[in-house]
Structure 1
Amino acid sequence: MAEAELVVEVSGPVATVVIHNPPRRNAMTPAMWRQLPPLLDEVEADPSVRALVLTGAGDTFCAGADLTDLDELLAAGDGSIAVAAEERLARFAKPTIAAVRGACVGGGCQLAVACDLRIAADDARFGVPPARLGLVYPAPTTRRLARLVGPSAAKHLLFTAELIDAERALRIGLADEVLPGERLAARVAEITATIAQRSPLSVAAAKEIVDDRAAPSRIAWWHRKVADTGEAREGITAVRERRAPGFAWTPPTA
């Protein structure tokens, strides 16, 4: 295993992407930012995968982005490789969960916010440090953060660059659940197992609509798919017969 890389593990219907750069507290290097979009393409195309978990190696999620090539970062602006990776993660067609331990700062927070859900250990710490570094946080990243936590909480994070603890993150909506560290893996496994049992069609449609990526024609397409695939008929029949549903629809691959 390379010292700094993204590692993919697939177990049943769940793919786990591990941010692995322990000497730098799992900081994202330029190579890792570039690795993420094609990696997500590959995982998304796997019909056996129903959910994706993003986490960090050891006891840290991700302490930020590697800023060694500052000139490249400043020249890129909103066109940076980090923003491209974040946007690809946000567009991932299947549910994504960030399992957060320890530091979730800068680029790490950027990735966590791009996930659908954030489940945090009680030792998690979240922060957005550009104001401490004299940088401008990318506009797509800033807007995504503000939609998630609200304008006031986003401004507090952006203006102060302070780290906040897991309980505060829970209060402002940056974390969805907080629990003792020893229970984090089991809870994430429970959530992903539940999602894997649900209708992939329902889940995919819900994600697009909640993220405001579904035009009226696309919403009409989803409703036609419900009728065409028989997913609703199978789900309702399974409830009546008190059995697990056999949802067969799989999302089309690009």
Structure 2
Amino acid sequence: MTAANETALVLRENHDGWVMLTLNRPEKLNALTVAMFRELRGHVEQLRDDDTVSCVILRGAGKCFSAGHDLADIATGEAVPSRGWHSETLRMLEKLPMPVVAAVHGHCYTGALEVALAADFIVAADDARFGDTHAKWALTPVWGMSQRLPRRVGVATAKRLMFTAEMISADEAVRIGLAEYAVPAAGFEEHLGELAGRIAANSVFSHAANKHLLDVTDGAALDAGLQYEVLEGRGRGSDAQERIAAFTRK
């Protein structure tokens, strides 16, 4: 494992075939600022063309994943590089060719939930709590909540969460399909390493090809999706024969 710069707002740790990105403002519950997003975007840009990385785990340092968008930044006015810059950054994260897993423990509210939803799926520690509080502060989402949340949990459930600003538990997040599953907080770190290792053991080529198929055909009619899969699928990776041969020799 390669250690990261501990003073960074987003830490990167390189493991065997996978990367851990950690939101790193634990003293502020990893509240999201422009500076933190800028570092996250830098990591995403580096990962985009790195075919040695098979999986990215995104998590938070300290007590939680993130308490959300830093309200102090909002109050003082944020100097963003361009309109939609945060949303663009999360779309870049979402479109990484390798699987991205959001690993959520503790708070995951509003802007933090928008970040987590840009991952391919969410794994929760059993102490995780999720919520969308835009309505509590007379705000509307601009980082993707209105688009990704209903696609994940359904329109009616998304409306309930957005209208009530209700905080929900890890178990409820799993029940509604927001999180894939929950694991005990005590073993969360170990589980993430095991999960990333299982993903990293599989083909980088297949991960990228499968993500492309799923992204391009999302929402398409079934017949159109089936035709795209046959005609536009990327076929076999360069390591296919080697992997098959290794299996048959067992």
Matching residue of 1:109: 113
Quote the sequence identity (%).
32
Q: Does 1:168 align with 2:172?
A: yes
Output the CA distance in 2 between the equivalents of 1:240 and 1:193. 22
Report the TM-score when normalising by structure 1: 0.84
Contact in 2 for aligned 1:50/1:94 (Cα 8 Å): yes
Q: Does 1:145 align with 2:149?
A: yes
Output the CA distance in 2 between the equivalents of 1:199 and 1:170. 28
Contact in 1 for aligned 2:114/2:143 (Cα 8 Å): no
2:242 to 234, 241, 245: 234
Output the CA distance in 1 between the equivalents of 2:28 and 2:76. 20
Aligned length: 237
Matching residue of 1:134: 138
Q: Does 1:205 align with 2:201?
A: no
The Cα shift of 1:34 comes to: 2.0
Structure 2 CA distance for partners of 1:43 and 1:139, relative to 1, 3 Å: closer
Q: State which drifts further: 133-142 or 113-122.
A: 133-142
Output the CA distance in 2 between the equivalents of 1:142 and 1:240. 48
Output the CA distance in 2 between the equivalents of 1:4 and 1:10. 15
The Cα shift of 1:148 comes to: 0.8
1:85-126 CA-to-partner distances (Å, cap 9, x unmatched) read 211111111111111110011111111111012111100000
5+ residue gaps, structure 1, are: 243-254
The Cα shift of 1:133 comes to: 0.7
1:85 to 62, 86, 89: 89
Contact in 2 for aligned 1:4/1:29 (Cα 8 Å): no
Report the TM-score when normalising by structure 2: 0.85
Structure 2 CA distance for partners of 1:139 and 1:104, relative to 1, 3 Å: closer
Once superposed, what is the RMSD of the aligned Cα atoms? Answer: 2.6
